[in-house]
Amino acid sequence: MASSKTLNKDALTFVKAPERNAQSDSTSVEGLVADIIRSVRERGDDAVRDYSEQFDKVRLDAFEVSMADRELAVERLDPQTRADTQFAIDNVSAFAKAQLGSLSEINVEILPGVHMGHRNIPLDRVGCYVPGGRYPLLSAPIMTIVPAKIAGVGEVIACLPPNAHEAMIAGCHLSGADRIFRIGGAQAIAAMAMGTESVPAVNKIVGPGNAFVNEAKRQVFGPIGIDQLAGPSEIFVLADHTGDAELIATDLLGQAEHDVRTRVGLITTDKALAEAVVKEVDRQLQTLSTAETAAQSWRDYGEVVFCESEADMLAYSEDVAAEHLQLHTADPHATAKQLNNYGSLFIGELASVVYSDKCSGTNHTLPTMGAGKYTGGLWVGTYIKTATHQWLTEEGVKQVAPSATRQSNSEGLEGHRRAAQIRVDRMGQ
């Protein structure tokens, strides 16, 4: 286990510094989202229909995708795309099943006659938000829907923008969604949280989205569970003198093309490597077809940091708590053992984020903006609640009642004292 590390900012040299701060760049959308949620609560489907027309320029009579349209979307998939989608589904399923197998239910007798335990209970109904985005991200529905089905959720609802690529509907269908709705944005979150004439209310909402989706998830949280509040994608690479500049630059740009607000970075103990990566990124941008997006992300949020020691490199990484963290060091497994704060770890230069993004099996819905300091990413356990229980024999009552009675009395809680004592009195003790 990694020990606590103190960050010495004086030991950091920014070979390439970000021009903007991702944590202070979010636009205030709180008021608009609150209005959307209130309207959906009051007007149901009519409000959803109006907002879909306003934001997505589509007016639909029916939101739900029929089974015939779902099957048609699958039929229209390119055969290789369908095969690759199924490959990803199989891998994500296999890993989720392995994770589920690690979750044990327990029943223990901690004192004579005092029995307690817990059960792992799948949620009744979950809503999966599937973003539209710049490109049809076919892996997105797989990552949210498949683990829910493996967990045993009673009903899985999927919502995606009405103008999302048809292949995304196919992805939702193949991943096992019970119902699919053409609703996007904050209105989708509101509909799933409160229910409308068409959309059933869910117990928990998962999945990434834009600032409006994120804010809507924040506002409905409480009676409705959420997975997390996800910001723009992040990738950082830790590297020593063994790092390969071309490989690192390629991986950074592979994430930078996601969005103009993607945060990408290299943290290294080798200054020559740091300088080489900056040059290599600039070189690769000249031929990258998605350079318009990637270049802006690199300019605004890209950073390359030279650290004077390995300890400084590890401390800065722990402070960043990157969503995706790649380790390109001489002994990456040893480096991994010294780290605690990240969304998902990629050990060694052969383990690229892109494999997890698409099909290798770990989930790509991960904590961002430093949330890796306190939580992990989406997994099969996200869809399960662990609930405790207990039962006592008369011997068990004898074990715990005296202490409970005395504590209640010292706290001045007469009702508690009576409840603790009445069973003892009835036993004639």
Give the side-chain half-sphere CA count within 13 A for 335. Answer: 26
Question: How far, in Å, CA of 303 to CA of 266, rounded?
Answer: 6
Tokens encoding 135:
């490109």
Q: Is beta strand 125-129 parallel, antiparallel or unpaired with respect to 155-160?
A: parallel
E strand map for 219-293: 225-226, 234-239, 263-268
- ∠ CA 189-131-376, nearest 5°, is 80
**Residue from 187, 241, 268, 214 nearest 12 by CA:** 268
* Given 258, 324, 328, 364, the catalytic residue: 324
> Per-residue b/e over 254-284, b at no fewer than 16 CB within 10 Å?
bbbbbbbbbbbbbbbbbeebbbbbbebbeeb
**Residue from 319, 310, 297 nearest 270 by CA:** 310
Q: Is beta strand 303-307 parallel, antiparallel or unpaired with respect to 12-16?
A: antiparallel
Please indicate whether residue 324 is annotated as part of the active site.
yes
* Given 215, 280, 323, 349, the catalytic residue: 323
Active site residues: 323-324
